[in-house]
Amino acid sequence: MIWKTRINQMTKTKYPVIMGAFVGLGKADFAAPFSEAGGLGIITALNFKTPNRFKQELAHMKELTEKPFGVNFSVVPPQVKGGFHLTENSKRNYLSYVEIALVEGVKIFTTSAYQATFIGERLHEAGCYWFHKSATIRHAISAERAGADAVTIVGLEGTGFKNPLTQTTLVNITMARRLLKIPIIAAGGIGDARGFLGALAMGAEAACFGTAVMVCEESPAALKLKEKWINEDIFTEDYHQKIYHLKLRDTVLPSMAIGHRKKIITIKEFIEEIMNESEVILRSWGFTAEEFNTIF
Give the per-residue pLDDT at 175: 97
Residue 65 has pLDDT above 50, yes or no: yes
First to last CA, the chain: 18
Q: Binning pLDDT at 50, 70 and 90, where does residue 165 land?
A: confident
Q: Binning pLDDT at 50, 70 and 90, where does residue 81 land?
A: low
Q: Binning pLDDT at 50, 70 and 90, where does residue 247 land?
A: low
Lowest mean pLDDT among 49-58, 153-162, 179-188: 153-162
* Phi and psi at residue 93, to the nearest 5°: -65, -45
Q: How far apart are CA 272 and CA 274, in angstroms?
A: 5
- What is the pLDDT averaged over residues 174-194? 97
Query: What 3-state DSSP class applies to 185?
Result: strand
The mean pLDDT of the chain is 92
Give the per-residue pLDDT at 77: 38
2-293 CATH: 3.20.20.70
Q: How far apart are CA 19 and CA 270, in angstroms?
A: 12
Q: How far apart are CA 201 and CA 240, in angstroms?
A: 26
203 — alpha (psi -120 to 50), left (phi > 0) or beta?
A: left
DSSP state of 46: G
Quick: pLDDT tens for 128-157: 999 999 989 999 999 999 999 999 999 999
- What is the pLDDT averaged over residues 97-116? 92
Lowest mean pLDDT among 4-13, 20-29, 69-78, 168-177: 69-78
Burial of 196 (0-12, 13-18, 19+ CB in 10 A): buried
Give the per-residue pLDDT at 79: 42
Q: Binning pLDDT at 50, 70 and 90, where does residue 278 land?
A: very high
Give the per-residue pLDDT at 78: 43
Select the more confidently predicted residue: 198 or 115.
Answer: 198
Residue 76 has pLDDT above 60, yes or no: no
Lowest mean pLDDT among 105-109, 143-147, 165-169: 165-169
Maximal C-alpha separation, the chain: 57
Give residues with Cβ within 8 angstroms of 226, minimum separation 6. 214, 215, 219, 264
pTM for this entry: 0.93
Residue 229 has pLDDT above 80, yes or no: yes
Q: How far apart are CA 285 and CA 293, in angstroms?
A: 16
Give the per-residue pLDDT at 55: 96
Residue 88 has pLDDT above 90, yes or no: no
Residue 230 has pLDDT above 70, yes or no: yes
Residue 203 has pLDDT above 90, yes or no: yes
Lowest mean pLDDT among 79-83, 139-143, 275-279: 79-83
Give the per-residue pLDDT at 242: 86
Give the per-residue pLDDT at 80: 45
Q: How far apart are CA 256 and CA 147, in angstroms?
A: 31
Say what percent of the chain tops pLDDT 90. Answer: 80
Give the per-residue pLDDT at 225: 95
- What is the pLDDT averaged over residues 229-244? 92
Say what percent of the chain tops pLDDT 70. Answer: 93
Q: Where are the domains of the chain?
A: 2-293
